[in-house]
Structure 1
Amino acid sequence: MSTAVAAGVARIPGSKSITNRALLLAAAARGTSRLRSPLVSDDTVAFRHGVEALGAQVWEADGDWWVTGLGAGPSGTTSVWCEDAGTAARFLPVLAAAGQGDVLFDGSAQLRARPLGPLTEALRLLGVDVVPGPDGGLPLMVRGRGLAGGEVRLDSSTSSQYLTGLLLSAPLARAPLTVHARDLVSGPYIDMTLALMRRFGADVEERDGTFRVRPDGYTATDLAVEPDASTASYFFAAAAVTGSTVTVPGLGIGSLQGDLRFLEVLARTGAQVRLTVDGAEVTGTGRLHGGFTVDMGDISDTFMTLAAVAPLADAPITITGIGHARLKESDRIAAVAQNLRALGIAVDEGPDRITVRPGVPVPARIACRRDHRIAMAFSVLGLRAPGLTFDDPACVSKTFPGFHEELARLFG
């Protein structure tokens, strides 16, 4: 067993999930909110431009974002370009429906390919006039006439973002809204949504998959954005495979992010994990233990981190519960399997699972599929597997423009 050496303190940017939810909440609130240390990346800038197009005022000072909200839904005719940001395409149309005016949402070809059907169907059932594109997604026209409230059943089996979209704007409705979420995946993201809504003053209750929101609006607040737990997973895994110690301050006990549970998975591989109120620390041995099966359905954004380094383990690792990951920026199960096979690694995959067997990776070019998480996950493997190159290393700018530089600073 190798002796761990200190790699240092990882400089992890703010959470994308918290930043974009907080942007919408601040845009809908009465007054001016302060978002401390938000993530600045392709996705969050696209979301910021979206709330600005809907009428909120956003400005930056000393690294923080200040948002003067509308106190209601937006008004007037406009358009929102969502870039590649799935959260913008799934959260902002509900905000537009709560207002008065026609809003056209569109985005990149990659985003147009991502589904919106469960959300648009729920909006129709609530009386909203929505016109999706020819494939059922973007471009999407929302003719806002205010949200009436009421009761709706929502298919949540492929993404929790549809439910989050409905919940975030529900306090702006004319009457209480009740949502019955069927087959909910990625539940920790809903816990995050509810916690942030309450920070902005919402009255929301949940019991057995049914959510009730009162139409009391939002009040501006001061919110510190945590470091992104999904992004931190790459640096925690890097510590494990290089026999180093990495610390991430500000991401500890009490975090709003379910993806911090990746530490529990990493501990199963033999890494030493320490979690305090002040942050998280991982110490690796440079060797990984395998021979287990783990359900990562609730933390599916981190399954690629484990799968990419699994060839370094001493026995196969099987990851289950991740079928909805096929509907993300790419078919992530297929993308991981394709790249591992290109590296000479034996992989078995099914509709909602992947098994990775130990092996010695050969040099190969990683096909990123314009998916930031593919590039970041395989960059960690590259710390132990010489000869990995990437067809689109810059795609990490979606959530962490400085990723490669930070990884090199700590482990180069």
Structure 2
Amino acid sequence: MTARIPGSKSITNRALLLAAAADGVSLLRAPLVSDDTLAFREALAGLGVHIEAEDGDAAWKVSGTGGAPAAGGSVWCEDAGTAARFLPPFAAAGRGTFTFDGTGQLRARPLRPLAEALGRLGASAAVSEPVGGLPMTVRADGLPGGDLAVDASLSSQYLTGLLMAGPLMRAPLTVRGAGLVSRPYIDMTKALMRRFGAYVDEFDDGVIQVLPGGYRAAQLDVEPDASTASYFFAAAAVTGTTVAVPGLGRSSVQGDLGFVEVLRRAGARVEIGEDTTTVTGTGALRGGFDVDMGDISDTFMTLGAIAPLADAPITVHGIGHARLKESDRIAAVEENLRACGIRTESGPDRITIHPGTPAPARIACRRDHRIAMAFSVLGLRTAGITLDDPACVGKTFPGFHAELGRLFPAHASTVRH
């Protein structure tokens, strides 16, 4: 079976910002059209960037401003964490007073490390208490560049936002990301920056340097989202079927494609071709291993949801930063597995899941799209799994339930309220 996976959210939102800052008109083909990317697009429009949809939403044409914003403004980030982390450095490289705000869920996510980093670069960036997050006010008069250490232990998005603003600064930016998590996202960011004409390099000691000079327009085909593909690959593994995802192959810039290697450890057959990745379930899921998923933490819930079907316990570690995402994802996985009668143990950055026969349960999605999608996969093997908020998948894949139902008709019962 061939799964129809929409474009990568991570690539779409990074490319939107880079195109917005570029000199010229860029074309982004097959962008992800979802709540998060539309929020990011609207936030850029609030900063004066013109973005035009072509052929429905098959492509987005971005008229670059040739630099950073110059007039201030009020920016609504909705639920999009990428907007709250990427856009303040972009604004700080410009001029004016900018305010950033979002939903209550987004306000609960911390931004203090980013604000402090912008302050050390010369901008005034104030966050709100008690979380140290949105609303955030940035008073900007351009950024000079310089040397900077960033606490990236909570989110790689802080570092990403600063790096993407680097070419808009007056002098080179040299950054060290202390405690960096989700390393592949930084590699993705550097690759996309280069695609839009920036100079960015990393040295053996982990120091990243970005030279000034701005961006130039580019045309980009957005890859299918590897994080979203994880649910369909996992579905193949637990149902003994084969799922292929075209557009994801050896040259992918997305680290989350590494999830298929975890499935390989769990007994699935995996083939990563030049342009397509295929996973085939072998009829049984193998456990008895522990795995560090810190670099691919957006997929740990996928493994967590199907882990009870394995023949031995599975421990996932290195995922402490997942507690600060749309929900406390370790707690959410544990809560829902226990509701299914599955034994778990957890710590600050880990969870162990024991094998068992899941019982019917109503899944508490916590408005988190990845919890809803992960436990939908468990529902393919467990009758009576339902979601309390099936619509929350719209954040990254509005058509998720329809596509999973097309490939696995048994999924229809999982989406009932």
2:189 to 184, 190, 193: 193
In 1, Cα distance between equivalents of 2:330 and 2:291: 15
1:237 alignment partner, SS class: helix
2:352 alignment partner, SS class: strand
Give 2:92's aligned residue: 97
In 2, Cα distance between equivalents of 1:179 and 1:100: 22
Aligned pair 1:184/2:184, yes or no? no
CA contact (8 A) 1:182 1:209 kept: no
In 1, Cα distance between equivalents of 2:103 and 2:79: 6
Give 1:86's aligned residue: 81
> Alpha carbon RMSD of aligned pairs, Å?
0.7
Q: 4+ residue runs of structure 1 moved beyond 2 angstroms? A: none
Summarize deviations over 1:358-380 as a string: whole Å, max 9, x none. 11111111000000000000000
Summarize deviations over 1:130-177 as a string: whole Å, max 9, x none. 121123110001112111111111111111000000001110001111
Give 1:27's aligned residue: 20
Q: Output aligned runs, 1:179-258, within 5 Å.
A: 179-207=175-203, 208-258=205-255
Aligned length in residues = 405
2:407 to 403, 407, 410: 410
> Which segment is superposed worse, 228-237 or 133-142?
133-142
Give 1:4's aligned residue: none
Return the offset for 1:287.
1.4
2:53 alignment partner, SS class: strand
1:277 alignment partner, SS class: coil
CA contact (8 A) 1:269 1:288 kept: yes
CA contact (8 A) 1:98 1:146 kept: yes
Return the offset for 1:286.
2.9
CA contact (8 A) 1:253 1:275 kept: yes
2:216 alignment partner, SS class: coil
Summarize deviations over 1:155-213 as a string: whole Å, max 9, x none. 11111000000001110001111111111111000000000000001011112221111
Q: Structure 2 regions of 5+ residues with no counterpart?
A: 410-417
Q: Structure 1 regions of 5+ residues with no counterpart?
A: 1-7
Using the size of structure 2 for normalisation, the TM-score is 0.96
2:361 to 339, 357, 364: 364
1:47 alignment partner, SS class: helix
Q: Output aligned runs, 1:344-363, within 5 Å.
A: 344-363=341-360
Which amino acid in the other structure matches residue 72 of structure 1? G
Aligned pair 1:401/2:401, yes or no? no
Return the offset for 1:327.
0.6
Summarize deviations over 1:269-288 as a string: whole Å, max 9, x none. 11100111111001102310
Give 2:156's aligned residue: 160
Higher relative contact order (Cα pairs below 8 Å, separated by 6+ residues): 1
Give 2:146's aligned residue: 150
Give 2:276's aligned residue: 279
Summarize deviations over 1:104-127 as a string: whole Å, max 9, x none. 100000000000011000000111
In 2, Cα distance between equivalents of 1:352 and 1:170: 32
In 2, Cα distance between equivalents of 1:215 and 1:160: 22
Which amino acid in the other structure matches residue 138 of structure 2? V
CA contact (8 A) 1:83 1:111 kept: yes
1:45 to 10, 20, 38: 38
Which amino acid in the other structure matches residue 16 of structure 1? K
Aligned pair 1:117/2:112, yes or no? yes
2:136 to 129, 137, 140: 140
In 2, Cα distance between equivalents of 1:180 and 1:234: 34
Which amino acid in the other structure matches residue 7 of structure 2? G
Return the offset for 1:36.
0.6
Return the offset for 1:103.
1.1
2:140 alignment partner, SS class: strand
In 1, Cα distance between equivalents of 2:259 and 2:226: 9
> Which segment is superposed worse, 48-57 or 82-91?
48-57
1:9 alignment partner, SS class: coil
In 1, Cα distance between equivalents of 2:295 and 2:72: 38
2:285 alignment partner, SS class: coil
In 1, Cα distance between equivalents of 2:2 and 2:74: 41
Return the offset for 1:77.
2.8
In 2, Cα distance between equivalents of 1:29 and 1:143: 22
Aligned pair 1:64/2:98, yes or no? no
Which amino acid in the other structure matches residue 274 of structure 1? E
